[in-house]
C-alpha cells in the first residue's frame, strides 16, 4: 500500500498541451482560464496547491506576488505588507497573521480559487 502511494506521488502530474507548452490539467478547471495569461494561471494553480497542502508562510507570499489579479485584490494594508516582504523586511507574528487573512480574503474575492476544506 505504501509503495503505491509513493509511486503515485513520484509520477509526473498530467499535462495538457496548449500553444506547444505543457500546462497542468487543473488550469482547464479555472472558470476564466481562457482569458488569463498562462503565467497567471500557473501562479493561481500553484498557490491553490500550496494552500491546500498548508505550506509555511514563507512559501506562500512569493507565489502570491506573481499573480497580478491577486495582488490587485489585496487590501491596501495587506499590499503594503507584501511590499515589505519583497524588500526583505521580516514580519512579526501579528503581521504574518494579518497578511495570511488578507491573502485568503483576496483569494475568495477573486473567485479563482477553490475553497479549502
- Domains of the chain, by residue range, sit at 2-110
Residue by residue, pLDDT tens for the chain (117 residues) are 444 444 444 445 444 445 555 544 444 445 545 567 777 778 888 888 887 787 777 788 888 888 888 888 899 999 999 999 999 999 999 998 898 888 888 888 877 766 555
pLDDT for residue 28: 40
The pTM of the full predicted model, rounded to 2 decimals, is: 0.60
C-alpha 52: how far from its chain's center? Answer: 10
For 37, half-sphere exposure in the C-beta direction (CA atoms, 13 angstrom radius) is 7
pLDDT for residue 76: 93
- Other CB atoms within a 10 A radius of the CB of residue 97 amount to 12
Cα dist. 42→26, 59, 60, 64, 112 in Å? 10, 15, 14, 11, 12
Q: How far apart are CA 70 and CA 91, in angstroms?
A: 20
Amino acid at each position: 500500500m505504501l509503495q503505491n502511494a509513493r509511486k503515485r506521488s513520484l509520477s509526473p502530474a498530467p499535462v495538457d498541451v496548449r500553444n506547444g507548452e505543457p500546462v497542468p490539467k487543473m488550469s482547464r478547471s479555472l472558470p476564466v482560464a481562457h482569458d488569463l495569461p498562462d503565467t497567471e494561471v500557473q501562479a493561481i494553480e500553484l498557490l491553490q496547491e500550496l494552500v491546500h497542502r498548508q505550506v509555511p508562510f514563507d512559501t506562500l507570499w512569493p507565489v502570491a506576488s506573481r499573480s497580478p489579479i491577486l495582488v490587485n485584490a489585496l487590501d491596501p494594508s495587506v499590499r503594503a505588507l507584501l511590499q515589505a516582504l519583497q524588500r526583505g523586511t521580516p514580519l512579526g507574528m501579528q503581521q504574518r497573521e494579518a497578511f495570511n487573512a488578507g491573502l485568503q480574503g483576496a483569494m475568495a474575492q477573486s473567485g479563482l480559487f477553490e475553497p479549502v476544506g
